[in-house]
Amino acid sequence: MNNISTILLLCLVSLKVTHTPIKEVVTLKKEKRPISKEISVVATCYYAEVAQCDANPNETADGTIINPDSASSYRIVALSRNLLKRWNGKIGYGDSIEVVSGVPKNLKGKYIVRDCLNKRYKNRIDFLLTKDEPVDRYDDVKIIRI
């Protein structure tokens, strides 16, 4: 044994290690919802048609091409510009959001942001629906970015 090994051995022997049994194990629960601030918005619905969009209603603002006959299946939303990163908001095209309250059960859930609303709207979300599905307006809707 060399001098360093002897010194280490003596140090270990001279140390008094006490062991205290753990009486209680604390487990942290994962939150089901991402930690993100809820945003309160007004929600409306729209169809992919010239009267409600622009001259090319089958293309969203981010360039996504959709089939208007199955628009609801895409789970696409348009956001007002004040919420979009392009205009200094916190949500970008292609980001996912979750609608957590304030709308009927069929409209709750996850959506992808692919479109934007006219600049006159603030704090608004617009659900892209297949034509002839009922549309409505919902106040005090809560969304979160996920």
Give the tens place of pLDDT for each residue, 79-127.
999 999 999 999 999 999 999 999 999 999 999 999 999 999 999 999 9
In whole angstroms, what is the distance from residue 105 CA to residue 112 CA?
A: 18
Asked whether the whole model's pTM tops 0.85, one would answer no
Pairing of strands 138-145, 96-101: antiparallel
In whole angstroms, what is the distance from residue 102 CA to residue 94 CA?
A: 23
**What are the Cα distances from residue 140, in Å, to 41, 63, 78?**
6, 29, 17
Structure confidence by residue, pLDDT tens digits, 12-27: 555 554 555 545 555 5
Q: Which domains does the chain have, with CATH numbers?
A: 39-145 (2.40.40.10)
In whole angstroms, what is the distance from residue 16 CA to residue 131 CA?
A: 77
In whole angstroms, what is the distance from residue 32 CA to residue 12 CA?
A: 46
Q: Exposure pattern of 60-73 as b/e (b: 16+ CB <10 Å)?
A: bbeeeebeeeebbe
